[in-house]
Amino acid sequence: MASRPRDSRLRRTLLAALVTASVVVPVSGAARPAAVPAPTPAVLAPLRAATPAALDERYAAGRQGIAAAERMAGEHGDRRRARALRAMAEPARHFLSFDGRDGGRTAEVFGDLSRAGTIAVLVPGSDTDLDTYERFRAGAVALEEELGDGAAVIAWLGYRTPGTVSPEVLTPGLARRAAPRLRAFIAELSAVKPAARTSLLCHSYGSVVCAEAAPDLRVADIVLYGSPGTGADTVGGLHTPAAVWAGRGTGDWIADVPHVRIRLPFLSVGFGTDPVAKEFGAHTFDAGTGGHSDYLKPRSVSLRNIARIVSGRNPAEEGRHA
């Protein structure tokens, strides 16, 4: 019994140290992609149907917006950004939405959404923006290939993600601002694909975004991986009828982050119970031996099991915590 107060003090000390480090370690804010100007995107009418014609129209609008952002990035002198945007504007790429401002907001589709009976929506974690987008995209490509025909994957970068080394990554502020956007996106998707089995896949800080949005989401599964916590003490605190899954690779450094939540006068720091802990109450799945960025790596245990969950099957070596 005496070890519990010491453990609590240790966790609080570690969290305090992490907060301090986040504040004092220099963060190259000027170098973030928010510094690159981009035009205000055209207002899009709600997607009324997921027919090939309707989707082609939306994808064409996305390409136009990306091309306009490419021109502005070139005029600004950012050749790297302009090259990346040029690749994104290729006809084979399919964006339901695009906004190049403030680091970027995108929703890219992989697979044939018009025919998909299974849909996975990926929500990224920290340091995901237009300059690091290919890393996020690579995971979506790998998952779509693992799922095969009849499935579509949507890489939803619908919010400004925090920096990995920043005070924002320790608090739910950005997640709370992102949650209404995620709810609106899932609502629009559900309206045009009501019969599809849709799952929400939430990596790292994306777990906090999904947790904030969870009560209003019409999804079959919420899958948390590489999660620092959700802000809820248990699955019940998410107030969702979806099946909640959690997994963590044995090589993921997030396991060493203190899973506590400290309420300060004007903010909350930390995200509480570890989602893979028994007391949280999620279904757990084997995520293999990978690190924090390896969950959707081709041929990995984690990718295979996440794909099984999205498909409505039990993952290999699945455990259930009551």
- What percent of the chain shows pLDDT beyond 90? 78
Q: What is the distance between the alpha carbons of residues 216 and 94, in angstroms, rounded to a whole number?
A: 27
Q: How far is CA 172 from the centre of its chain?
A: 14
289-306 residue pLDDT tens: 999 999 999 999 999 999
How many angstroms from the chain centroid is the CA of residue 51? Answer: 26
Give the pLDDT confidence of 240-281 residue by residue, as tens digits.
999 999 999 999 999 998 887 777 666 777 788 999 999 999
Q: Distance of alpha carbon 53 from its chain centroid, rounded?
A: 28
Q: Which of 257, 301, 317, 226 is nearest to 11 (CA)?
A: 257
Contact 275, 253 (CB under 8 A): no
In degrees and rounded to multiples of 5, residue 99 shows phi and psi of -145, 115
pTM score above 0.85: yes
pLDDT tens for each residue of 215-248: 989 999 999 999 999 999 999 999 999 999 999 9
**In this model, does residue 14 exceed pLDDT 60?**
no
- Distance CA(119)–CA(42), nearest Å, equals 26
Tens-place pLDDT, residues 180-193:
999 999 999 999 99
* HSE-CB for 83 with a 13 A CA cutoff: 5
Average pLDDT of span 129-156: 97
Kindly give the pairing relationship between strand 243-247 and strand 283-284: parallel
